[in-house]
Amino acid sequence: MKWLHNLLRGCSLTGALFVFQACYGSPQDSLRFDSGEASLTFSVVSVETGEPVGDVRILSAETEGQKEMREVGTTGPDGRASVKIPYLRNVRGPFVRFEDKAGAYVPKDTVFLDLQPREILIELRK
């Protein structure tokens, strides 16, 4: 009878561990802080005129709450720029800010959830 009791207790513990693993999965801390760079191409235009806006600084941070941002590029006279944006996997981001150096346009902040290589249209307001 004692062996039956031990067998049932072992099965209960195994079942509990299986349910825990099925619900929460295995820890993946190493993936949370894995980082990389995404190549993105931007076209920056004026909302009012639709014309390209040149000399716009592109600043980036890996996450939205990060205070320190670094400049990753500037748009040319045609309003276009190709840049590499740093990001952290499994974290909402990266956070990108577009600032007109002349100050004629309102800075625009955005967070990218999809980092597929493509051209992105950014519209700035005066």
Residues 82 and 40: beta-carbon distance below 8 Å = yes
Domains and their CATH numbers in the chain: 31-124 (2.60.40.10)
Q: Which amino acid is at 28?
A: Q
pTM above 0.85, yes or no: no
**First CA to last CA across the chain, in angstroms?**
83
pLDDT by residue for the chain (126 residues), tens only, comes to 777 667 667 666 666 666 666 666 655 444 444 567 778 888 999 999 999 999 999 998 876 666 788 888 999 999 999 888 877 665 666 788 899 988 899 999 888 777 777 788 899 998
Helix (H) or strand (E) holding 19: helix 2-24
Which residues neighbour 119 within 8 Å (Cβ) at sequence distance 6 or greater? Answer: 41, 42, 43
